[in-house]
Amino acid sequence: MYSLRDPDPTKMVFNDAVKGFCMYNDCVLSEEGLRDGYVILFDMKGVSIGHLARVSLPALRAFLLYIQEAHPCRLRSVHILNTASWIHHIMRIVVPMVKSDMLSLVKFHKGNVPDGVPQEILPLDYGGEAPSVQELDLEIKGMIDKYAVWLKESELFKTDESKRIKKTSWWGLLTGSNNKDSQAMDEKTFLKNLQID
């Protein structure tokens, strides 16, 4: 269950939210191991268009790539509760980055009690049988504290980007700069030499 603690968009740092999700996810996997599949609940109550303006596209792309390609657990469904009327703006950004089989897992709900979600996983605040959101929050904070040393150490793990194989860029395809034999051409030179019939 994910929801906003503070609806003020100026206090949201998207990269920190993604990092927090990954930290929580690592702790849950360490505690419980792999499960058959996750059901994700995200409550949009308090989310405003100002939050959308604070989303970092590179961080969003990396996060979605992680969820689709590297996350060790399968997602069974993603339920968006209290869906905002402007959700189509978010989906315009997200859809190009998400595979169609993943998109089919997403369900939007106008209210805060989704149909088809087992009552045993819904928090008490949402009419379910699970502990309340406040109790779950305290449980998560305790788990994060338990793994605090390990989480801090994991920040030290970095990739050596100099060893990564360079991908062909769209700009290189236009200018031929991806070929080792050709001379690199910058954007100004390319545009200056552009001829239109």
Residues 6+ apart with CB under 8 A from 113: 81, 122, 126, 127
CA-to-CA separations, 96 to 8, 59, 131, 145, in angstroms, rounded: 28, 15, 36, 37
Q: Which of 140-144, 160-164, 168-172 has the highest mean pLDDT?
A: 140-144
Strands laid side by side in the 106-108 sheet: 38-43, 75-81, 106-108
Give the tens place of pLDDT for each residue, 85-97: 888 888 888 888 8
List the domains of the chain with CATH numbers: 9-154 (3.40.525.10), 166-192 (no CATH)
Residue 184 CB neighbour total at 10 angstroms:
11
Res 9: pLDDT:
92
Give the tens place of pLDDT for each residue, 63-83: 999 888 888 888 888 888 888
Calculate mean pLDDT across residues 94-106.
88
Give the tens place of pLDDT for each residue, 9-44: 999 999 999 988 888 888 888 888 888 888 888 899
Comparing 75-84, 95-104, 168-177, the range with the smallest average pLDDT is: 168-177
Res 182: pLDDT:
43
Res 13: pLDDT:
92
What is the C-alpha to C-alpha distance for residues 27 and 135, in angstroms, rounded to an integer?
17
CB 51 within 8 A of CB 9: yes
**Residue 145 — pLDDT band, cuts 50, 70, 90?**
very high
Calculate mean pLDDT across residues 129-153.
90
Calculate mean pLDDT across residues 49-56.
90
Name residue 81's beta-bridge partners.
43
Q: Cα dihedral sign for 187, 191, 192, 193?
A: positive
